[in-house]
Amino acid sequence: MSNTILVINAGSSSIKLQLFAQIGEGGLERRLKGQIEGIGVNPHLIAKDATGAVIKEASWPGPDVPAAPEALAKVVEFLKEHLGGRLPNAVGHRVVHGGIAFAAPTVVTHEVVTKLETFVSLAPLHQPNNLAPIKAFLERLPHITQVACFDTAFHRGHPELADRYAIPESLYREGVRRYGFHGLSYEYIAGRLKIVAPHLANGKVVVAHLGSGASMCALANGRSIDSSMGFTALDGLPMGTRPGQLDAGIVLYLLQQKGMTASQIERFLYNDCGLKGLSGLSNDVRVLLGSDDRRARLALDYFVHRIALMSGLLGAALEGIDGFVFTAGVGENAPTIRSAVVKRLGWLGAELDEEANLRGADVISSQASRIEVRVIATDEELMIAKHTMECLAAMNTRATELQQ
């Protein structure tokens, strides 16, 4: 039977999972997708096969699945049943922050987890949830190989100028630098461009990963050379609940004039700002698009405005733009947002094909456009599976060499 790889993307109250099977030399086939959500409240598992057919659905009382370890136990129980008593050969995890210590996918050990826990304060919405299932597997199924795949890794080849802040050298050396995030998504897009648009793959491309978390990346010859996000996932574009670019003096104002504590400011910046803060209504673009409230329009206009500004900044880093790619939940599914952004890029020669945009075509720029504008669905889970498979292969090669 072929090797199987479980991919886990864990949130605060849900665990998304996908199962891949290795086929041939280095190929991967997605066998199922699922998630267990409502952890601790109303736990519910649903899993679908490659055709989208439901193959498992179950619910439990909240106290039976209070946290990630118990949720993973339910997932493992289901996978054993699905795989005829077997377990996956390896588990790949999305981990948002790798800091300066991790520039590539890494096989998990207790020492690795200890180091990754030091980055919790840099990604408080994500890092603790990413690490929870890793620690549960280490405790309950330590014989299964786990691989941590980092959202920061793809950006680690940035020029020093792109990574620096105008702060003393000592802080830079201890890791206070611009990391960039959503790297697994950008890595997938860079690879996908080689297939669907080889004429762009080696050119200058701006990619907009627009979802509840949003960022942008400048790709040159398929490599990240700059990104909108920085030291933490707060920087750059406004997001569902995060403010994006913010004058550091505002944080001082909240401390000194408003009397807020550091923990209160952290909660405020990660949970009460962005589209939610601007609109006073919702952090969901779909809700804001459907609202007639003036504040909803303000939030969306601001979102588009900042995307347009960041496009110019990244275009300057690239010294020109050959292509522009929309991806992630909003980028892939909100033609109104795409239309507004492309119109703001008219000064760069971008021109929209309105009909293609409305039907969600792969290419939404007109034939007269000087910039090719595309919509590409991202697949971070596939990237995690690929990296996990490569780590497994490397481990097997080393084991064989030691035996010889």
* Catalytic (active-site) positions: 151
The phi, psi pair for 398, rounded to 5°, reads -65, -40
**Residue 310, both tokens:** 């960041």
Burial class (CB in 10 A: 0-12, 13-18, 19+), 73: middle
Taking CA 37 as the corner, what is the angle to CA 31 and CA 38, rounded to the nearest 5 degrees?
165
Q: Could you tell me whether strands 44-49 and 27-37 are parallel, antiparallel, or unpaired per DSSP bridges?
A: antiparallel
Dihedral sign of CA atoms 110, 115, 117, 123 in order: negative
Task: Give 332-363 as a DSSP string.
Answer: HH-HHHHHHHHHHTGGGT--B-HHHHHTT-SB
Residues 6+ apart with CB under 8 A from 41: 13, 62
DSSP 270-314: HHS-HHHHHHSS-S-HHHHHT---HHHHHHHHHHHHHHHHHHHHH
- Three-state secondary-structure class, residue 328: helix
Which among 350, 304, 343, 346 has a CA at the least distance from the CA of 323?
350
> In terms of Cα–Cα distance, which of 18, 10, 98 is closest to 381?
18
